[in-house]
Amino acid sequence: MEALPPPPQISTLLSHRFGSVVVDLSRLAPPEKRRYTHALLAELQGLRERVGLPHWIVLDEAPQLLGSGGLPQEGPRAPAERYCLVTHRPEDLGSGLLDEVDVLVVLPGGETFAKGTGFVSPPTALAEPLTLGEAFCIERGSVGRFRIGKRRIRHVRHWHKYLLTELPPHRQFFLRTMEGPTGEAIGNIAQFHEELEHAPRAVLAHHLGEGDFSRWIAGELKDHALATAVRIVEAGWRSGDRTSLEPYRQQLLAAIEDRYHDGSSEPIPFSGHRTGT
């Protein structure tokens, strides 16, 4: 693994050109991530005071990077100014940091959290849950509901690995009904899509009712966006009309296709390429 550049080096890069810098901390242990992040943010706050750059700082999986310390509070500007904090666990950000936030963009599954922030009064403005592909844009006192546009470029993060590379047996998803295992297993997203197209009602109904699909996607694939979309379908099955399972099957397929579409006009040719199952 190459050593990370020291924070002053990143500051120098940003001060000499109008561009973006991406720092990958994925291979660091959590304590190291937090130490490096706080050192870098303190450096960038000083750069902002001198030259006004960078215009925006985006922190993906922000709670992991910030820990309980929040953002550096050096300088006269508000600590959260021109930061974009991205997370699937907003409750871990801490109330002090949330007090500094001006705008929330909430995806399906985050409505309960949004109601508790105090951004909207009364919170009944968020009463109607979001559906797949929708989001709330919440400024203090006002709520906008919008539909998210289709992806224009390929989703890069582990796209090929999740789609076609098969997980080892102990991490695969084993299909079953209420009576017991079917003997079939799912090892990647392409196989998941293929199985959803053809799985009997008893299999899908069992796993939808137990929330098994979203747990596997979040736990083994670490794809929290897809897990959230699938969790919404599972919740709809548990609380809705179960006369026909087909609408839920189609919603699951659509969630996968939207997440793993490659940005071209042609859909990805999902094919499970099963081996050894």
In a domain, 119, yes or no: yes
Looking at residue 141, what DSSP letter applies?
T
Tell me if 271 is assigned to some domain: no
Q: Mean pLDDT per segment of 10 residues, for the chain of length 277 residues? A: 83 82 87 92 90 90 82 57 87 81 88 84 79 86 86 55 79 95 92 93 96 93 88 92 92 88 51 42
- What is the pLDDT, as a whole number, of residue 30? 87
* Number of domains composing the chain: 2
Whether 78 is covered by a domain: the verdict is yes
Residues 86 and 106 in one domain: yes
- How confident is the model at residue 166, as a pLDDT? 83
Confidence at residue 275, expressed as pLDDT on a 0 to 100 scale? 38
Output the pLDDT for position 272: 45
Q: What is the pLDDT of residue 262?
A: 52
SS3 category, 226: helix
Cα-Cα end-to-end distance for the chain? 35
Residue 184 — φ and ψ, nearest 5°? -95, 150
Query: Of 122, 147, 172, which one is at a domain's C-terminal end?
Result: 147
pLDDT at res. 250: 94
For residue 208, how far is the Cα from the chain centroid?
A: 20
Please give the structure tokens belonging to residue 197.
């197209």
Amino acid 212: pLDDT: 96
173 plus 138 within the same structural domain: no
DSSP 239: H
164 backbone dihedrals φ, ψ, rounded to 5°: -120, -25
Residue in 273, 271, 270, 275 with CA at minimum distance from that of residue 169: 275
- Tell me: do 119 and 25 sit in the same domain: yes
E strands in the chain:
57-60, 83-86, 103-106, 134-139, 142-147, 173-177, 180-186
The verdict on 200 and 141 lying in the same domain is no
Pair (46, 74) in one structural domain = yes
pLDDT of residue 91: 84
- From CA 56, how far away is CA 190, in angstroms rounded? 36
Q: Is residue 264 part of a domain?
A: no
